[in-house]
Amino acid sequence: MQVFNSTRGRRATGKARLELSATPRQLPRMQIHLHTDGRDQGPYSLGELNEAIHRGEIATGPAMAWYEGCASWIPLASVPGVRLGAGGSPPPPFPSARAQQGDATGGVIPYKNPHALTAYYLGVFGLIPIIGFFLAIPAFILGISGLKKRKRNPVIKGAIHAWIGIILGTISIGYHLLIVVAIMRS
């Protein structure tokens, strides 16, 4: 197999393929042959290849590679020691511990927003005649408080529970007031 070495301008002879893979001790001495964009390149040492990738001289996406000890041509990303993406933009920032915290239920039950959760239950039980009026007022207030907490820290969830508390609290207050007005008129 004849391989054109684009960095040195000379031809190199490929070697027989073995059914082995490179060991960590062999990595620095490995000679890697590439086939990318319809042409053969190499051989490259591991250091030369990583530098060429870093400089953007090699299209890494469709590149196939072979080195002595490799059973067949493999994707460049599978070659031990090759660092794809070593150049270019830096990695995104590591998420903070606060951003990783969520509810164990995936946000379905907002345990980390007790105001919204309490508003939800008070709003539901606020629909009970007579005693519901006394539950509906705190449901409304805690619902607003739960929405404010959710706005300050979106990880804690609970907006829907807070809105349900506000809406049911308002409905309960309204129909209890209508009942009181109807009783007074009669």
**pLDDT given at position 164:** 93
Residue/partner pairs of 72-81 with CB below 8 Å, 24 or more apart: 72/17, 73/35, 76/34, 76/36, 79/32, 80/21, 80/22, 80/24, 80/27, 81/22, 81/27, 81/30, 81/46, 81/50
SS3 69: coil
C-alpha distance from residue 78 to each of 38, 65, 66, 122, 181 (Å):
19, 9, 10, 58, 78
80 vs 30: CA distance, rounded Å? 10
**pLDDT given at position 16:** 37
| 135 DSSP 8-state letter | H
Paired tokens of 186: 């009669």
| 19 DSSP 8-state letter | S
97 vs 147: CA distance, rounded Å? 22
173 vs 169: CA distance, rounded Å? 6
| 90 DSSP 8-state letter | P
**pLDDT given at position 148:** 93
**pLDDT given at position 143:** 94
Listed by start position, the domains of the chain span: 2-78, 105-185
pLDDT in 10s for each residue of the chain, 186 residues:
434 334 443 344 444 333 334 444 555 577 888 888 788 888 888 888 888 888 878 776 778 888 888 888 888 888 888 887 645 555 566 665 555 455 566 657 777 889 999 999 999 999 998 888 899 999 999 999 999 998 888 778 888 999 999 999 999 999 999 999 999 998
89 vs 123: CA distance, rounded Å? 50
CA–chain centroid gap for 77, Å, is 22
